[in-house]
Amino acid sequence: MDVDVAVIGRGMIGGAAGRHLAEQGRSVALIGPGDQYSSHGDAARITRIVGRTGIWTELAAQAIGRYGDIAERSGIDFHVPCGFLAAHLDAADWAERAAVYGSDARLVDRAWVRETTGINISNDLDLVFEGAPGGYIRPRRLVAAQSRLAEAAGATVINAEVDSLRGAAGGFEVSGSFGTISARQVLLATGAFAGDLAAVQLAVERRPRTVVMVEWEGFDDGREIPSLICDQPVDERVEGIYWNPPAEYPDGVRRIKIGGNLAAFVPLEQDQLVDWFHSDGNPDEVDSLSVNLRALLPDADFGPLTSKPCVITGTVTGYPYIGWIDEGIAVARGGNGSSAKSSDEVGRIAAGLFSEAGWDSSIDQSIFTPVHV
């Protein structure tokens, strides 16, 4: 098979890039396994227009603006706009920036939060609340929707890993259990598991994270739990926490999921990833997250708890790397723990690299320039 572009990595960003490329009329092979060793094998990811910087806000707003279209055309629902709450030093700035994009984000007080959501915030940071579209997305479903639309636009979707990438006359040979595909150009959207497919190595930090999932249906008295980010939590072994409200997992059980930034984390080397993904995560992080969850939801009657390891791919710039790293090879990698919600925009910008017009974003290209080791 011959294609214009082989997109390697069918996660949140690769799936989006594959769809945009195919819908722009390019012949595309979108190659990657399901959600094994990925950052999206999960039931929920926070979505919100309010962001830590103007760039994150722009990326999220553009992506969120297309959620409805993706869901409608693919027939796969993935967005739950149940609202988003943050306790953060810069909450007022978050709200101000997001208002430009039509967000209803506003500062709220503790008493209102406690009464309407049951959440008990004990620090004295400002609180910002964003109603719909704030809430969460279902990452596996979004990837499925992107794959379905890419296929509908003519892309070949291959559910397998790429084992090797070799330069060849007129482009590249991309090989795996599926055989060999010839591609004129390649986009690497491989998340934390980049391996050695390309000769050029990027400066990324693989940050181990542990998430705790607790069986809980939510309150039955009408109080609706929004997605949450809370800096300065009660137990400070984690510097900040986030959660997704109770969402249904593949076993049919609803769980609230909490995670955070362990203050004392040690980055993982590429060859440590598989062992990490087969562990239960960091016990100290599990304990701290459990303490924080109970402090934040004192009225909740929680069921059993499980924990799971995960990895965040951090870049030197703090933003995803989107750009060419070698003749014919571009990357879209480095979600920095924040790119699920914005993956459609990151993928769209990456797809633009392959067009004649090139860079297609109001954000300066230099922000996303890949940094080599």
Ligand X SMILES: Cc1cc2nc3c(=O)[nH]c(=O)nc-3n(C[C@H](O)[C@H](O)[C@H](O)COP(=O)(O)OP(=O)(O)OC[C@H]3O[C@@H](n4cnc5c(N)ncnc54)[C@H](O)[C@@H]3O)c2cc1C
Rounded Cα distance between 90 and 284, Å, is: 28
By CB under 6 A, residue 13 contacts ligand X: yes
By CB under 6 A, residue 171 contacts ligand X: no
Judged by CB under 6 A, the residue of 148, 209, 255, 348 near ligand X is 209
We find the least distance from the C-beta atom of residue 122 to ligand X, in angstroms, to be: 22
Q: How far is CA 241 from CA 26, 220, 249, in A?
A: 41, 24, 21
Name 353's Cβ contacts closer than 8 Å, sequence gap at least 6. 187, 322, 323, 324, 330, 359
By CB under 6 A, residue 322 contacts ligand X: no
Cβ–Cβ under 8 Å, residues 330 and 185: yes
By CB under 6 A, residue 11 contacts ligand X: yes
Helices and strands (H, E) in the chain, number of each type: 9, 19
| Residue number with CB closer to ligand X (113 or 194) | 194
SS3 at position 23: helix
Q: Which residues are paired to 62 by β-bridges?
A: none
Cβ–Cβ under 8 Å, residues 47 and 71: no
Residue nearest to ligand X (CB): 11
CB atoms within 10 A of CB 109: 11
| Residue number with CB closer to ligand X (38 or 288) | 38
By CB under 6 A, residue 341 contacts ligand X: yes
Give residue 278's identity as a one-letter amino acid code: H
Rounded Cα distance between 62 and 49, Å, is: 9
Judged by CB under 6 A, the residue of 40, 88, 138, 255 near ligand X is 40
CB atoms within 10 A of CB 197: 18
SS3 at position 354: coil
Q: Of 9-17, 79-87, 270-278, 293-301, which part binds ligand X (CB under 6 A)? A: 9-17
By CB under 6 A, residue 310 contacts ligand X: yes
Judged by CB under 6 A, the residue of 323, 335, 352, 370 near ligand X is 335
| Helix 139-152 / helix 343-352 crossing angle, nearest 10 deg | 30
Q: Of 91-99, 266-274, 285-293, 304-312, which part binds ligand X (CB under 6 A)? A: 304-312
We find the least distance from the C-beta atom of residue 210 to ligand X, in angstroms, to be: 8
CA Rg value for the chain: 20
We find the least distance from the C-beta atom of residue 136 to ligand X, in angstroms, to be: 7
Q: How far is CA 151 from CA 22, 138, 340, in A?
A: 8, 20, 21
Judged by CB under 6 A, the residue of 3, 5, 28, 31 near ligand X is 31
SS3 at position 208: strand
**Which of the residues 243 through 262 are near ligand X (CB under 6 A)?**
259
By CB under 6 A, residue 288 contacts ligand X: no
Q: Of 49-57, 184-192, 299-307, 355-363, which part binds ligand X (CB under 6 A)? A: 184-192
DSSP string, 305-321: EEEEEEEEEEESSSS-E
| Residue number with CB closer to ligand X (38 or 292) | 38
By CB under 6 A, residue 79 contacts ligand X: no
By CB under 6 A, residue 39 contacts ligand X: yes
We find the least distance from the C-beta atom of residue 187 to ligand X, in angstroms, to be: 11
Structure tokens at 334: 């480095």
By CB under 6 A, residue 193 contacts ligand X: yes
Judged by CB under 6 A, the residue of 65, 131, 195, 318 near ligand X is 195
Cβ–Cβ under 8 Å, residues 16 and 7: no
| Residue number with CB closer to ligand X (26 or 257) | 257
| Residue number with CB closer to ligand X (6 or 300) | 6
By CB under 6 A, residue 292 contacts ligand X: no
Q: How many residues bind ligand X (CB under 6 A)?
A: 40
Measured in degrees and rounded to the nearest 5, phi and psi for residue 78 equal -140, 0
Rounded Cα distance between 43 and 372, Å, is: 33
By CB under 6 A, residue 147 contacts ligand X: no
By CB under 6 A, residue 51 contacts ligand X: no
Binding stretches for ligand X (CB under 6 A): 8-14, 31-33, 36-40, 45-46, 161-162, 189-191, 193, 195, 197, 209, 211, 242, 259, 310-312, 333, 335, 337-341, 343
